Structure 1
């Protein structure tokens, strides 16, 4: 459990705001669908969210809440997790999500809960055409008691006593994939929950005026099954043709020991079924004591890969690049001067990844299919046109904000079709944030600072002057942002505007930015023989320019900066630069939000398949929407 004084399952009421917070954006909602009306019980309902703009029926994930079979609701995730994170992450991945209720143990004994979960799946399959979902591609994901049910849903097949006859009777309750978060797998191997319950939880239960009971025994008491304990244990139903499983569990969980997940994973492996077991070090129940976002992101990616159909790979040349160079060297192993010279002579090579062009991205993330793009060429301050592309989704709920976005590339590479530019802009536009994504001159040959920074400032000025026409927003609602080198350029352009006494952007978004000459040490001391030092000097053009606060914004005053979001990555060697800049802004009285992306490395939003990428893009969208 987390360090909360009262566990989430002991809350005596649920505030209205909780339901609002768990409603995903960019989704079509079907609320309170009565999938089963068991005789003598309340109607059982589900909430279904389908990605907006889906160009084909969406695969669906059935979410089963936890709560020890005694508590919980389809509308509430664990209070220890960011509000709505599961539902939003699934929608962002192009997957529909159906969150279901089921009868609690005091309402009906096992197998009523399994009957209810299977009835929900049959209902979704029966009405798939009306709901815009794919009847053949349904996965299931649950946490705690819901994880145990999810495993049973995936493993129990063809047993009339466990399938039940609730709701829609005809049709299959089979699923394509299963995610089990820290669910019980073998009831026979567990001791009494009353005996193993941590003292603070026992005290919280008593303080709430409730009895200390073993919910597992309540679940089984009065069951019509002769061996309900075995029937409720997923390990008893393991079969070779089981759907693929992902099992995730914290190894410090005292409510459901990690060994429960080990038992299920071992049984599935022995049977020949596909299973992945992920240990979360130091995490308790509901991943208490750890960041829940990486496990959730890994689950979403697991489900996406198994529910969204794989596309035929496209030729690498389908991804536009600055040139047709086919044989590119490994730039990571080249001296900086040699890499710059090669790029200046040959142009940027084609990206070999087969699935990052717009068509592939739309197939993978159907909600992006409604985004409209327009290519522009903006008059630049140094006699060159600045390439740009406007992204706008007329079907998305307007946020009232827009963003000028600048990709990275170490000041020597990058272009408008790389995912860090194109995919990020598509995702933001689909969330109601129009984007002008811009390219800029690279630091090759005699081209150095301030030329790329000046081009960013020119593109921002163009966006502000044409905000109504381009984005449908006021000129003072345009933000500026960038990643890596793009973060440097946007911070530098903001410093230029500040120092010139001109209007700064409505907000600033910096993703793994490099705002110091020495990024790894967040300092101005540069070793020109190091890779980072060589790139900084190549950008600045001279030792004198390395000290220019418009080249590296952390070297100057920042008290006139707008509200700023800074995203840094746990595994990024350049993280100190962003963290130090956040502290500098805060000390200057600037409203700043620092987000540390656990498990992520530099460049992660240039990899749409990276499980940490979508949460970052989602957090950027949420921050922009509320920035004022």
Structure 2
């Protein structure tokens, strides 16, 4: 595992800038870490961690996903957002959009091109990435996390194993009894149907959306494979470019065994897919 030190070069190729405050919510600073490649001006992506909206942190993806992308010339910001134990939806989306706005407002300070901004994530992070990518023209979802008036639009979205519709339960996407989903919304579908619809990326698919990369295990026991195919089909129906990768016989961890941990090769597989995609479209 790559170990990082504040604002130092990594293997003479990457610069790590940790603990940047991009906003504040409920009296708590919201942080991101930035990994910069050697190239002076280029694209930047926002990485969103998984963890069922209730766990995980920006640290988890740094040494594999983010470092792998930065080593290929794409700056990457790993972003923390409020977890569902601290705030219900749409707080998480508000935080993500605040991070996008902060990065756009400060991109030139780090030699980045604010017009070449992508977003990516796995599982819950993939859900938030898709939602952010599809809702840049919905001011009611921006929140008040700073840099108001700066666009939260992104130019490309890459998601892995991500939910797209909370009104179509299955696997561990349980919306009618206590679960990670009902914790995210503060209630069941009977109580929070409107919020679940508001949080579903499928709600916002329209012509002109940014291009998508969607990767999903065909045997995903946590987020059913159909969540990915429905999003793919909806995007195709309105002529949004979609690259779709089916991980044959893969569970939520992309492995043939659902209880095995994510090995390094799986981290790098998604990072490679994302890097190739972002190089093509950004």
- Identify the residue that residue 67 of structure 2 maps to in structure 1: 88
- Identify the residue that residue 161 of structure 2 maps to in structure 1: 182
Q: Compared with structure 1, are the counterparts of its residues 300 and 284 closer, same or farther at alpha carbon in structure 2 (3 Å cutoff)? A: same
Hey, what's the Cα distance between the residues in 1 that align with 2:49 and 2:125? 5
CA-CA distance at 1:20 after TM superposition: 4.2
Deviations 1:601-626 (Å, cap 9, x if unpaired)? xxxxxxxxxxxxxxxxxxxxxxxxxx
Alignment of 1:306-455 (within 5 A): 306-307=281-282
Q: How many residues were matched structurally?
A: 267
Q: Secondary structure at the match of 1:236?
A: helix
Q: Compared with structure 1, are the counterparts of its residues 220 and 24 closer, same or farther at alpha carbon in structure 2 (3 Å cutoff)? A: farther
User: Are residues 1:220 and 2:195 paired?
Assistant: no
- Identify the residue that residue 200 of structure 2 maps to in structure 1: 233
| Structure with the higher strand share, 1 or 2 | 2
User: Are residues 1:165 and 2:139 paired?
Assistant: no
The answer (yes or no) to whether the contact 2:166–2:200 under 8 Å persists in 1 is: yes
Deviations 1:11-51 (Å, cap 9, x if unpaired)? xxxxxx88649x9642112111110112x242110001111
- Identify the residue that residue 251 of structure 2 maps to in structure 1: 284
Q: Compared with structure 1, are the counterparts of its residues 41 and 190 closer, same or farther at alpha carbon in structure 2 (3 Å cutoff)? A: farther
- Identify the residue that residue 303 of structure 1 maps to in structure 2: 278
RCO higher in structure (CA 8 A, sep ≥6): 2
What is the TM-score when the length of structure 1 is the normalising length? 0.40
Hey, what's the Cα distance between the residues in 1 that align with 2:100 and 2:10? 21
The answer (yes or no) to whether the contact 1:147–1:183 under 8 Å persists in 2 is: yes
The answer (yes or no) to whether the contact 2:69–2:272 under 8 Å persists in 1 is: no
Alignment match of 1:35 (pick from 18, 22, 25): 22
The answer (yes or no) to whether the contact 2:174–2:181 under 8 Å persists in 1 is: no
- Identify the residue that residue 124 of structure 2 maps to in structure 1: 145
Deviations 1:359-406 (Å, cap 9, x if unpaired)? xxxxxxxxxxxxxxxxxxxxxxxxxxxxxxxxxxxxxxxxxxxxxxxx
CA-CA distance at 1:131 after TM superposition: 1.7
Hey, what's the Cα distance between the residues in 2 that align with 1:24 and 1:123? 24
Consecutive unaligned residues of structure 2, counting only runs of 5 or more, are 258-264
- Identify the residue that residue 44 of structure 1 maps to in structure 2: 30
- Identify the residue that residue 61 of structure 1 maps to in structure 2: 45
Hey, what's the Cα distance between the residues in 1 that align with 2:23 and 2:3? 22
What is the TM-score when the length of structure 2 is the normalising length? 0.87
The answer (yes or no) to whether the contact 1:93–1:304 under 8 Å persists in 2 is: no
Q: Secondary structure at the match of 2:209?
A: coil
Q: Secondary structure at the match of 2:59?
A: coil
User: Are residues 1:245 and 2:224 paired?
Assistant: no
- Identify the residue that residue 328 of structure 1 maps to in structure 2: none
Hey, what's the Cα distance between the residues in 2 that align with 1:66 and 1:262? 20
The answer (yes or no) to whether the contact 1:24–1:84 under 8 Å persists in 2 is: no
Hey, what's the Cα distance between the residues in 1 that align with 2:37 and 2:235? 33
Deviations 1:315-348 (Å, cap 9, x if unpaired)? xxxxxxxxxxxxxxxxxxxxxxxxxxxxxxxxxx
- Identify the residue that residue 262 of structure 2 maps to in structure 1: none
Hey, what's the Cα distance between the residues in 2 that align with 1:227 and 1:149? 17
The answer (yes or no) to whether the contact 2:166–2:173 under 8 Å persists in 1 is: no
